[in-house]
Amino acid sequence: MSTFTPPLQFDYYYKAWRKGDSEAKAVAVNQSAVAALAAASEITGLPRDNFEVHEISKAEFDALHHR
């Protein structure tokens, strides 16, 4: 088993919004694309294929996540 020193850090952030929303208003944000999609579906009660998920910057994630 190999160990990385220091551990590799990958920071990715994702925003889910309804397809066709020209403003791309966030329904859910998360550090996982799958979790953002699942949360958007759970929040709205709509199927997951009704949403788009895109990577966003850490600054945008922080702004949306801490509303």
The predicted-structure confidence for 18-45, as pLDDT tens digits, reads as follows: 999 999 999 999 999 999 999 999 999 9
End-to-end CA distance of the chain: 42
Q: Taking Cα atoms as reference points, which of 35, 28, 37 lies closest to residue 61?
A: 28
Give the separation between CA 55 and CA 28, rounded to whole angstroms: 12
The CA-CA-CA angle for residues 56, 8, 4, to 5°, reads 170
Alpha-carbon 14 to chain mean position: 2
**By the 8 A CB rule, do 37 and 6 touch?**
no
Instruction: Between 1 and 29, name the one with better pLDDT.
Output: 29
Under the banding of pLDDT at 50, 70 and 90, the label for residue 8 is: low
